[in-house]
Amino acid sequence: MKAPALAAAASATLITATAAPLAAQVPTGMMGELRPDQQQFFGLYKELVETDTSLPHGSCTQAAAQIAARMTAAGIPEEWITPFSVPEHPDEGGLVVVYPGTSKKLEPMLLLAHIDVVAAKREDWVRDPFKLIEEDGYYYARGIADDKYMAAVWADTLIRFKQSGYKPGRTVKMALTCGEESDTAFNGAQYLTNNRRDLIAAAFALNEGGGGDTDGEGNVVAQSIQVGEKIYQDYKLVATNPGGHSSTPVRENAIYAMSDALLKIREHEFPMEFTDVTRAFFAKAGAARGDEMGAAMVALSKDPTDAAAQAKVNTDRYFHSVLRTTCVATMIDGGHAVNALPQKVVANVNCRIFPGHDPVDIGHELEAIIGDPNITVTRARVDKPLAKSPPLDPAIVGPMETLAAKYFPGVPVIPSMSTGATDGLYMSAVGIPTYGVPGAWGDPDGNGVHGLNERLEIRGIYIGRDYLFDLVKTLAK
């Protein structure tokens, strides 16, 4: 879920100072005809977003095959290209491409993106969600941001490498996968880490989760690098009771018991914590703001015991979430008849766990918070690996910052920890540090990602594409 341009999820509150517009960087022909290389990219991008890959009705396998066909047409040998799927999920396939490097010492790098999208109903959208439409300086379509922009850029990068005869020192691998947006679907990233590790083995990976934010008035005010994410965990809470006739109620009622439990969870505040990344985020983002909130962010990064600074920062729900584990009730189901006392109530509590904590321990903490032995707390899913935060490696982060100064002059580059979840967790679990990269940008309203009328600013698409192309070349030397 993580649109490449919406990494901070707080674009409206991140920075109040605005940077200079990037108008001077608009590629030649942006307001008219695209350059030939941009036209080639646009064709790939358009075909990808116009292929329905929402599950269960769409087909990632078809989209992957279309990209593979474009790559072979560009001269990439078929032996470099590996389509993959499993018989039980024929429409949820993906694609791995291994572009060999010349160095025997440098380990490969991995370009990761998912090609499945959240479902979109035509009757709810102003425009057809599976037609790329240009309007008012934006491209509209489902997946135009999340995450087909990045998938198209990665595929386009390898095509440009081949067409120009470029030979990287480091082998560059690309994995386009399905299943990131559908928790119960076949997940291609997980499949590759479990079954085809050789295909994706790499020193590090570049992924969604980073990107730019605007002030809503056309000015890019920040670029972020996602360095880690919180651990996603659902807990199943169950309250049971013998029930009985509703005409003779008793205090021991499963609905009331569950209500009390959920209210206790609502009122519980997990303690504030920092990682190196989140401390750097609050220091850099706060210094760039120049307002009262910014001063509190900087003060808190220097002194976590500063109660006044913490109180101020906690008024922003994104900042509050970045600083701690959070748990929230998301679903509830209970009772069996309108004229009977409830015998069973089930609730789902979704936790986003701060790095360094075990979901088992958080489950025990929920039991202690609830304090009712008649309510059981179990993990709803136990098959996902735990997200691991990569290091702030200057060999990787440094080139991102250097190139950002060229493509986004005057715009601060800020490391961030995602409060959401990406397929990067599967890579980090097998020792591949994964970073969400800067690039295209989003607006404070979220650009319709996972919602209606998803869009990206055209200017950001092409500037971000050039930035990412140069970034891959720099890291692959």
* Helix residue ranges per DSSP H, 307-457: 307-313, 317-322, 359-370, 394-407, 424-429
Please count the structural domains in the chain.
Answer: 2
The answer to whether 246 and 254 have CB atoms below 8 angstroms apart is: no
Same-domain status, 31 and 118? yes
Same-domain status, 371 and 461? no
d(CA 164, CA 337): 69
Q: Supply 161's token pair.
A: 């490498």
3-class secondary structure, 464: helix
Same-domain status, 176 and 299? no
The residue from 346, 379, 412 where one domain ends is: 379
Same-domain status, 151 and 266? no
Beta-bridge partners for 99: 172
Assess if residue 179 is contained within a domain: yes
350 Cβ contact partners less than 8 Å away, ≥ 6 residues apart: 232, 233, 234, 235, 327, 328, 329, 330
Same-domain status, 117 and 222? yes
The answer to whether 407 and 25 have CB atoms below 8 angstroms apart is: yes
Here the CATH number for the domain that contains residue 155 is: 3.40.630.10
160 Cβ contact partners less than 8 Å away, ≥ 6 residues apart: 37, 166, 469
Assess if residue 351 is contained within a domain: yes
Residue 31: predicted pLDDT: 43
Residue 182: predicted pLDDT: 85
Same-domain status, 363 and 406? no
Residue 428: predicted pLDDT: 94
Same-domain status, 186 and 255? no
Assess if residue 297 is contained within a domain: yes
Same-domain status, 240 and 174? no
Same-domain status, 178 and 90? yes
The residue from 319, 354, 379 where one domain ends is: 379
Assess if residue 11 is contained within a domain: no
Same-domain status, 185 and 55? yes
Residue 18: predicted pLDDT: 34
Assess if residue 104 is contained within a domain: yes
Same-domain status, 311 and 255? yes
User: What is this structure's pTM?
Assistant: 0.90
DSSP-based helix, strand, coil % in the chain, nearest 5: 35, 20, 40
Here the CATH number for the domain that contains residue 250 is: 3.30.70.360
Report how far Cα 321 is from the mean position of its chain's Cα atoms. Answer: 16
Assess if residue 3 is contained within a domain: no
Residue 77: predicted pLDDT: 98
d(CA 380, CA 134): 42
Same-domain status, 362 and 254? yes
What is the domain range of residue 373? Answer: 231-379
pLDDT in tens, the chain (477 residues): 443 333 333 433 444 333 334 533 444 334 458 999 999 999 999 999 999 999 999 999 999 999 999 999 999 999 999 999 999 999 999 999 999 999 999 999 999 999 999 999 999 999 999 999 999 999 999 999 999 999 999 999 999 999 999 999 999 999 999 999 987 789 999 999 999 999 999 999 999 999 999 999 999 999 999 999 999 999 999 999 999 999 999 999 999 999 999 999 999 999 999 999 999 999 999 999 889 999 999 999 999 999 999 999 999 999 999 999 999 999 999 999 999 999 999 999 999 999 999 999 999 999 999 999 999 999 998 888 888 899 999 999 999 999 999 999 999 999 999 998 899 999 999 999 999 999 999 999 999 999 999 999 999 999 999 999 999 999 999
12 Cβ contact partners less than 8 Å away, ≥ 6 residues apart: 216, 444
Assess if residue 176 is contained within a domain: yes
Assess if residue 69 is contained within a domain: yes
**128: cis peptide before it, omega within 30°?**
no
The residue from 379, 401, 434 where one domain ends is: 379
